Chains A and B, each alone.
Chain A
Amino acid sequence: MNGNIYQPVEMRIERAKDEAPEVRTLRLAFAHAPDREAFFRRYRVGMFGLYGVPGEGESTFCVASPPGRDYIECTFRRAGRVTAALLDREVGHPVTFRGPYGNHFPIESWRGKDLLFVAGGIGLPPLRSVIWNILDRRAEFGRVAVVYGARTVADLVYKDELAGWAGRSDVELVTTVDPGGETPDWKGRVGFVPTVLKEMPAAAPGAAALVCGPPIMIRLSLPVLSGLGFRPTAIYSTLENRMKCGVGKCGRCNVGGVYVCKDGPVFTLEEIQRLPQADL
């Protein structure tokens, strides 16, 4: 008899960090070592999980932390019933987790290549696992650049980590906030992500760009990335369709011939362009 694929494992909140208004990062430790080992045997950056509170339900977020830790982290904004319940939980409380599910970024194919990360607002968490995975293995990759923007300074997530990246000579970080979102002591750029992105250097041969953020930011960034020389097969993003099962059964994330939970969430721009655009 097979096991129950809908049975989540138990996690314990080890740390909770408020990133931005109503945005929090939870660090979760596996309650049982075999669950942790099973997770890390399969986990690759880009995969997602279902985080839950029994009685409230489960919500789908990316795993925002890289492999090689003994915990996982997720960053989410209050949006509905489950995220509200997760925000109510305190350090030491249990929550549930299922995963890792889905495909992953092909980072092994990027060895020796330059990488450009483009994120807006709460679109940084799906890329943060990749950035840390690359930084953990820094020597294996080429130039790493991160362009990150938010509406206001308060809306930037991972502020401590941004400060850390800004201080590294092997990461080129550009942070920006939308006009009007700056504070008097803001040292970063003021301007929309696509505008700031135009100033980045042209793509080196084999370079990849990863872009996550609000749909409007992605839409306006794509032509800029093309202008920098990134081909649709070298531009990656994640789709964020509504999901319930996470394992290719419930039908909710089906768009075109694709099940986002199984074939995604990571897609190249070329793959996304082949999907029925009206259904995205």
Chain B
Amino acid sequence: MKSLSADRLQDLAAALSAAGYRVVAPVEADGVVRFAPWSPGAAIRTDAVPVNSLKDVFFPPSEAIGRWRRSGDGFDAIETRPEAPKTAALAARPCDVAALAMLDAVFNWDFRDSFYDARRAATVVAALACSEADEECFCTSVGGRPDAAPGADALLRPADGGRTLIVEPLTDQGRDLAAAASGVLQDGAAAPDAPPEVRRRFDIGRVGAWLAGNFDSPLWKELSLPCLGCAACAYACPACHCFDIQDESGPNGVVRLRNWDACGLGLFTLHASGHNPRPDQASRWRQRVMHKLAYAPERFKVAACTGCGRCGRVCPRGMSLADTAERIAAAAAPAAGPAAGVPA
């Protein structure tokens, strides 16, 4: 069994960096823990869920997908390739890793997105099993677990009461990572810590059944009333993947950017004619929930929500997908008390 002392994660990062990996990990800057490139000396924080998700490594908030040079009345295309350095993503949460199934599916059904795929191929993911679950966490309600990351290349499992991290390679890429870090890993037994209890729970089957028949329910308006339409939830979400395409032009050239977008924003579906199929926040919040818990499971056999809880942590109005799901589950529940006419 390979392991390292929990306070030596920086040494692991340094070893991987020396082995040619760009290391991304939860690092603190200006009082905020973010999933970001690690640099020597930076502490890797395993005690806080980063405000952004692992998604950013593969699908950055903004990136160039086309470039042109102007020439007279025309323009010459400049080949645009993804930036995809060899990368090790350290200490990603299981919920973030689970969301890669959604991203892999949407970026590769039929047309293959070379930008996403290049970074996915160049990145080894070492997940960190959770030691705690806060009041926003709900991974176990949407098929996840705090102590397993099936899509990861390796798992760092807390042990010995948090003093040790057991390194469990899960794929060849994970074994390569362990080999590259062998100088900082030790042999010997360690006692894995028990996974945390995820207390927040709802019945996803009941939610799904309600969603299938309640598109026109007045509950949508009620659920969405606090929503400001700021899209913070979508940007923090590890599975949200909607984007916009915008050109920026200067005197000599043009860059075409793919930027994160969100179905909660009013302009998202606005037609040039002025018609907007989703003209109010209720229809936009409904779309967000339906896409995550009904359309994505139907189309891609995977929910576009992995219970990370970030939407609840970032929402300025205290909304969250868990809260919506819980209220839907309650609405779907039969009325309290014995149902009349049903034999016992």
Contacts and interface: CB of A to CB of B under 8 A. Distances in A.
A262 interface: yes
B263 A251 contact: yes
A55 B272 contact: no
A251 B229 CA distance: 17
A6 B244 contact: no
A257 B106 CA distance: 14
B66 A244 contact: no
Task: Give the bracket for the number of chain B residues in contact with chain A.
Answer: 35 or more
A99 to B, nearest CB: 12
A256 B247 CA distance: 29
A57 B299 CA distance: 29
Interface residues of A, number: 43
Nearest to B275: A215
A7 B66 contact: yes
Given A1-B118, A251-B261, A254-B295, 17 more contacts: A2-B113, A2-B114, A4-B80, A4-B81, A4-B115, A5-B112, A54-B77, A54-B256, A83-B272, A92-B73, A241-B269, A242-B270, A247-B110, A251-B291, A256-B295, A257-B298, A262-B109
13 contacts: A2-B117, A5-B111, A54-B77, A57-B247, A245-B245, A247-B110, A249-B106, A249-B111, A250-B243, A251-B243, A251-B261, A262-B110, A278-B283
A215 B277 CA distance: 12
Interface string A66-89: 000000000000011001000000
Contact of A56 (B66, B107, B247, B287): B247
Given A4-B65, A80-B272, A248-B110, A241 B277 contact: yes
Contacts of B258: 6
B256 A6 contact: yes
A5 B109 CA distance: 13
Nearest to B304: A251
Contacts of A93: 73-74
Contacts of A8: 66
Given A249-B107, A255-B277, A244 B245 contact: yes
A94 interface: yes
A177 to B, nearest CB: 21
A276 B215 contact: yes
A10 interface: yes
Contacts of A3: 114
Interface of chain A, main secondary structure: loop
A132 to B, nearest CB: 26
Contact of A279 (B80, B261, B287): B287
Nearest to B263: A251
Interface string A211-243: 000010000000000000000000000001110
Given A94-B74, A276-B215, A57 B245 contact: yes
B68 interface: yes
Interface string B135-176: 000000000000000000000000000000000000000000
A1 B114 contact: yes
Interface string B293-336: 01100110000000000000000000000000000000000000
Interface string B73-93: 111010111000000000000
A278 B282 CA distance: 11
Nearest to A259: B299
B246 interface: yes
A280 interface: yes
Nearest to B74: A94
Interface string A1-35: 11111111010000000000000000000000000
A252 B271 contact: no
A247 B114 CA distance: 13
A257 B299 contact: yes
B204 interface: no
Contacts of A280: 277
A262 B300 CA distance: 14
Chain B CB count within 10 A is highest, among A55, A83, A279, for: A55
A249 B114 contact: no
Nearest to A245: B245
B216 interface: yes
B289 interface: no
A94 B75 contact: yes
B268 interface: yes
A54 B250 CA distance: 11
